[in-house]
Amino acid sequence: MRARLSDIAQQAQVSEATVSRVLNDRPGVAVETRQVVLTALDVLGYERPARLRKRSAGLVGLVVPELDNPIFPAFAQVIESTLAQSGFTPVLCTQTAGGVTEDEYVEMLLDRQVSGIVFVSGLHADTAANHDRYRALLARPLPVVMINGYVPGLGAPFVSCDDREAAELAVAHLVALGHRRIGLITGPDRFVPVQRKVAGWRSAMTRLAGVAEADLGPLAELSLFGVEGGEAAAGRLLDRGVTGVVCGSDLMALGAIRAARQRGLDVPDGLSVVGYDDSPLMAFTDPPLTTMRQPVTAMAVAAVRALVDEINGHGAPHSEYLFRPELVVRGSTAVAPSSARLSYARSA
């Protein structure tokens, strides 16, 4: 038992004494810590003491991308907490570049006989990926729920933020401030959320900013996700005279701010920047970031409820639930430079 305590303590990153208290169902251990120890017990393949078995309805896998983008830990935290409240033990699987793949994590989860899996921004969001992997899971049958991404014809619940509306609201905000030459910075166009953002931006630019469809091409930059991708894309757009940019993530927006400052431009007076996610700490950046907020808590709770219904045989509707984004105005957007407004007035 001593060796087992050591293994469990190492997996859970707690002391052996804490593991002992949890296994003996003694008080004095926080609920979160108790859950971490029980998850470590399950992941390592140890059988729970009889007194603890009734407290778990089973394991549920949670597959998320790398945690560098703070929006993914935000989703993971709410999903894990909501699963635990429903009696399930969450098993977090984090993907990193060059590390364990989504398919490899799924195999590991299946070996642990999970009751279901939640995928956040996984391969289901990639139109170039083979989605037969999900059809095979559903055929087992294994309940799955997918967040931020959509596969037509796949019999599972999908939960997404309305990316098209987010882009339209962001453009409308900048247009109201007098901007007309508004760029778009987002990721590769094979991803469903990117395609939807592009569609929303194009629609709003022609309808609200009065830009001809044929003139939109130079104003859109599809780059790598992350700060570096946002910085490179913003540099190219600044060379084309944009006064505002709508970004596909908060990290890309931070990259756009860096690019503006490298050119001696102030944000927001020289360039207005709108992010996407409202991930933690964006209210404390310099300047505080104007962004489109994903309703993370509502989306995560809805996803867990749909999964639990599937597990319990109630059959959640196999459709996509779209959640409305919220514009959060902070300090990274301002009235367009007077020269830009004067130029637009002359051309109107």
Please tell me the predicted confidence (pLDDT) of residue 348.
46
Instruction: Enumerate domains of the chain plus CATH numbers.
Output: 5-52 (1.10.260.40), 59-161+295-323 (3.40.50.2300), 163-294+328-346 (3.40.50.2300)
Please tell me the predicted confidence (pLDDT) of residue 45.
77
Q: Give strand pairing partners of 182.
A: 244
Q: Which two tokens stand for residue 89?
A: 């033990």
Could you tell me how far CA 263 lies from the centroid of its own chain?
30
Give me the mean pLDDT over the 321-337 stretch: 96
* Segment 184-227, tens digit of pLDDT: 999 999 999 999 999 999 999 999 999 999 999 999 999 999 99
Q: Which two tokens stand for residue 325?
A: 């984004």
Contact (Cβ atoms closer than 8 angstroms) between residue 347 and residue 339: no
Percent of the chain at pLDDT > 70 equals 94
Q: Which two tokens stand for residue 228?
A: 């570096």
User: Which H helix or E strand runs over 293?
Assistant: strand 290-293
Contact (Cβ atoms closer than 8 angstroms) between residue 145 and residue 119: yes
DSSP assignment string, 53-101: HTT--EEEEEEE--TTSTHHHHHHHHHHHHHHHTTEEEEEEE--TTS--
Query: pTM (2 decimals)?
Result: 0.81
Confidence of residue 327 (pLDDT cuts 50, 70, 90): very high
> Which of 24-38, 90-104, 105-119, 332-346 is modeled with the greatest confidence?
105-119
Confidence of residue 347 (pLDDT cuts 50, 70, 90): very low
Decide: residue 337, CB within 10 A, 0-12 exposed, 13-18 middle, 19+ buried: middle
**Cα-Cα end-to-end distance for the chain:** 79
How high is the mean pLDDT of the chain?
Answer: 91
